[in-house]
Amino acid sequence: MSVSANNPAACVLGVDFGTLSGRALVVRVRDGAELGTSVHEYGHAVMDDTLAATGEQLPPDWALQDPEDYRDVLRQAVPAAIRQAGIDPGLVIGIGTDFTACTVMPVLRSGTPLCQLPGLAGRPHAYPKLWKHHAAQPQADRINALAHERGEPWIGRYGGKISAEWQFAKALQLLDEDPGIYARADRWIEAADWIIWQLTGAETRNACTAGYKGIRQDGHYPSREFLAALDPGFAGFAADKLEHPVLPLGARAGSLTRQAAEWTGLPEGIAVAAGNVDAHVTVPAAGATGPGQMVAIMGTSTCHVMNAAELAEVPGMCGVVDGGIIAGLWGYEAGQSGVGDIFAWFAEQAVPPGYVDAAARRGVSVHELLSAEAMTEPAGAHGLIALDWLSGNRSVLVDHHLSGMIVGLTLATRPPEIYRALVEATAFGTRVIIDAFGSSSTRVTELVIAGGLTRNEAIMQIYADVTRRPLSLIGSEQGSALGSALHAAVAAGAYPDVPAAARAMGRKREAVYLPDEASADVYDQMYAEYLLLHDYFGRGENEVMHRLRTLRERVLAARAGQP
């Protein structure tokens, strides 16, 4: 049995399911104090090269996961976090979770993932497709073209384009490429909701993923007619495999089952909050639930989330959803598909031994060394402009087939300069997004940064200078897990709603980085150059990025003996 919600020692568990690992965090309900934490790395990490069960080579742009890795987080990380906190598990009154969005999987009516059925372990399409599975671009293209052709009302809510990452594109790829698996999938579900099913024993759906990734607007999925026009076999997709009452965020999805209590060591019957998404759940953790407070969660990619009182269509946004972040407000989402990923790529693939050795000698990371050296020069001194599309462009172009570009290279260009140009490019990309939100009802009034990149001072300063804004920083190192815990507290009845919980449990430090005027002036000029190149390469004036990608696929297919 668990204590009452107003016990001053009451705690909640927040569990954040990321791309490579899951983190559990024990949080005190009355003040948000973080008492203990533990991380469990997924045994199969990301399967983007081969399928672990068979060793089969996966096609380009695939990314799968193994759902048992998610259950292992419940079995490993949750008890370990409780132990680290040193509390009696009986003090825990609720559990909340967040997940990567667009990680979707085919399951039976019982919730069993198809990949766990006898004989299906060797079928790649039976596995969860991770958010960054980008092989459904042709299907996304079909969906977008048809939506515009038919004038579907919902397409404007997604900036005019849905992404290849989303439920519908991935499901259509499944139907196209493995109709047998498609037919056996009773339900098609976000991992964010599937994990709730594991905790409560019953299927639920949450307002966030249903709205942002499931194209559910004003209470409806895309029509049967629309789906039939994509493929007659797809007509019943939404009705058969998605349709389900949708819970508002912070709602109680159910109670912890005996099975899940055994896995986690938590009391049976405690509140389980509705599923949620890593980025969106960070907003209340940063105490930024008001209209105009944009939270940028900067990690391998960046997600920009913000509430507004009104509905507007922002060009290139990923989506606007009623109650998508906070019940009662319109939640806006935008994003950059590659950020920390790009810096990591550079550090691993483009930094010569002299720098790697110097970093080791000084006991710092290559990132720290490059950042420090890059900042010894004034803004503009490297003479470079990059486009930050090495992993495609989510907002505002919504095109995963774009690629990275750098201009201004000379024989005097040094690695820290290129590193800085890449950081600046991602900052320009953020500024494009802020500018896209520029209309009166969605104006950005405060920029709050969360995520792992907040630890890099050079990157933070560049973002302040490029955006000409003071940066607020989230006050927690585990924003997502804290946000999930906060939702658990609401689900358990400790607070009346999420904003109230955010005031008590969220944390934000204001104006931690201030823009430097001289740098900001230079960056204004460089931003103008970035925009010119952004539009030239990204808006159809020169389709070289798409043509190079097509050529690449063709020559690789030819070598593999395919037609």
Give me the least distance between CB of 340 and its own copies, in Å please. Answer: 11
Strands (E), 218-261: 246-247, 252-255
Q: Which one of 151, 353, 363, 561 is in contact with its own copies (CB under 8 A)?
A: 353
User: Distances in Å between the alpha carbon of 552 and those of 357, 549, 556?
Assistant: 35, 5, 6
Verify binding: residue 311, its own copies, rule CB under 8 A. Answer: no
Verify binding: residue 538, its own copies, rule CB under 8 A. Answer: no
Q: Hey, what long-range contacts does 351-357 have (CB within 8 A, 24 or more apart)?
A: 351/415, 352/415, 355/415, 355/416
Verify binding: residue 493, its own copies, rule CB under 8 A. Answer: no
Sign of CA dihedral 205, 209, 214, 216: positive
Verify binding: residue 383, its own copies, rule CB under 8 A. Answer: yes
- Give the range of 181-189, 214-222, 349-357, 475-483 binding its own copies by CB under 8 A: 349-357
Q: Following DSSP, what letter does each residue of 237-253 receive, concatenated?
A: IIIIII---EEPTT-EE
Verify binding: residue 50, its own copies, rule CB under 8 A. Answer: no
Q: Which is nearer to its own copies, 311 or 555 (CB)?
A: 555
Q: How far apart are CA 347 and CA 343, in angstroms?
A: 6
Q: How far apart are CA 253 and CA 206, in angstroms?
A: 9
Verify binding: residue 352, its own copies, rule CB under 8 A. Answer: yes
Find tokens 């994509």 and name the residue.
Answer: 230
Give me the least distance between CB of 528 and its own copies, in Å please. Answer: 9
CA-nearest of 313, 303, 293 to 336 is 303
Q: Which one of 220, 509, 539, 552 is in contact with its own copies (CB under 8 A)?
A: 552
Work out the number of other CB atoms within 10 angstroms of the CB of residue 535: 12
Q: Which is nearer to its own copies, 30 or 345 (CB)?
A: 345
Verify binding: residue 348, its own copies, rule CB under 8 A. Answer: yes
Verify binding: residue 468, its own copies, rule CB under 8 A. Answer: no
Q: Which one of 20, 145, 407, 511 is in contact with its own copies (CB under 8 A)?
A: 407
Give the β-pairing of 330-336 and 319-322.
antiparallel
Task: Count residues binding its own copies (CB under 8 A).
Answer: 54
First to last CA, the chain: 63
Verify binding: residue 341, its own copies, rule CB under 8 A. Answer: yes
CA-nearest of 498, 27, 36 to 276 is 498
Find tokens 């990490």 and name the residue.
Answer: 45
Q: How far apart are CA 285 and CA 297, in angstroms?
A: 11
Verify binding: residue 368, its own copies, rule CB under 8 A. Answer: no
Q: Which is nearer to its own copies, 9 or 548 (CB)?
A: 548
Q: Which one of 411, 440, 517, 540 is in contact with its own copies (CB under 8 A)?
A: 411
Work out the number of other CB atoms within 10 angstroms of the CB of residue 65: 27
Give me the least distance between CB of 57 and its own copies, in Å please. Answer: 15
Verify binding: residue 45, its own copies, rule CB under 8 A. Answer: no
Q: Which one of 95, 195, 351, 453 is in contact with its own copies (CB under 8 A)?
A: 351
Give me the least distance between CB of 46 and its own copies, in Å please. Answer: 12
Q: How far apart are CA 296 and CA 298, in angstroms?
A: 6
Q: How far apart are CA 463 and CA 530, in angstroms?
A: 15
Q: Which is nearer to its own copies, 455 or 552 (CB)?
A: 552
Q: How far apart are CA 115 and CA 127, in angstroms?
A: 5
Sheet strand arrangement including 471-474: 319-322, 330-336, 302-308, 293-298, 446-450, 471-474, 508-513
Verify binding: residue 362, its own copies, rule CB under 8 A. Answer: no
Residues in Cβ contact with 418 at an 8 Å cutoff, skipping those fewer than 6 apart: 346, 350, 382, 384, 386, 406, 409
Q: Which is nearer to its own copies, 183 or 548 (CB)?
A: 548
Q: Which is nearer to its own copies, 229 or 522 (CB)?
A: 522
Verify binding: residue 370, its own copies, rule CB under 8 A. Answer: no
Three-class DSSP category at 39: strand
Report yes or no: 242 and 186 within 8 Å, Cβ to Cβ.
Answer: no
Verify binding: residue 496, its own copies, rule CB under 8 A. Answer: no
Verify binding: residue 526, its own copies, rule CB under 8 A. Answer: yes
CA-nearest of 35, 41, 62 to 51 is 62
Verify binding: residue 536, its own copies, rule CB under 8 A. Answer: yes
User: Distances in Å between the alpha carbon of 525 and those of 216, 339, 383?
Assistant: 41, 22, 12
Verify binding: residue 298, its own copies, rule CB under 8 A. Answer: no
Q: How far apart are CA 346 and CA 348, in angstroms?
A: 5
Q: Which one of 172, 342, 473, 505 is in contact with its own copies (CB under 8 A)?
A: 342
Q: Which is nearer to its own copies, 294 or 405 (CB)?
A: 405
Q: Which is nearer to its own copies, 33 or 555 (CB)?
A: 555
Q: Following DSSP, what letter does each residue of 340-372 receive, concatenated?
A: HHHHHHHHHHS--HHHHHHHHHHT--HHHHHHH
Give me the least distance between CB of 356 and its own copies, in Å please. Answer: 5
Q: Which one of 37, 403, 454, 480 is in contact with its own copies (CB under 8 A)?
A: 403
Verify binding: residue 145, its own copies, rule CB under 8 A. Answer: no
Q: Which is nearer to its own copies, 382 or 431 (CB)?
A: 382
- Give the range of 231-239, 248-256, 479-487, 519-527 binding its own copies by CB under 8 A: 519-527
Q: Which is nearer to its own copies, 245 or 353 (CB)?
A: 353
Verify binding: residue 410, its own copies, rule CB under 8 A. Answer: yes
Residue ranges binding its own copies (CB under 8 A): 338, 341-342, 345, 348-353, 356, 378-385, 390-391, 403-411, 413-415, 522, 525-526, 529, 532-533, 536-537, 542, 544-545, 547-549, 551-552, 554-556, 558-559
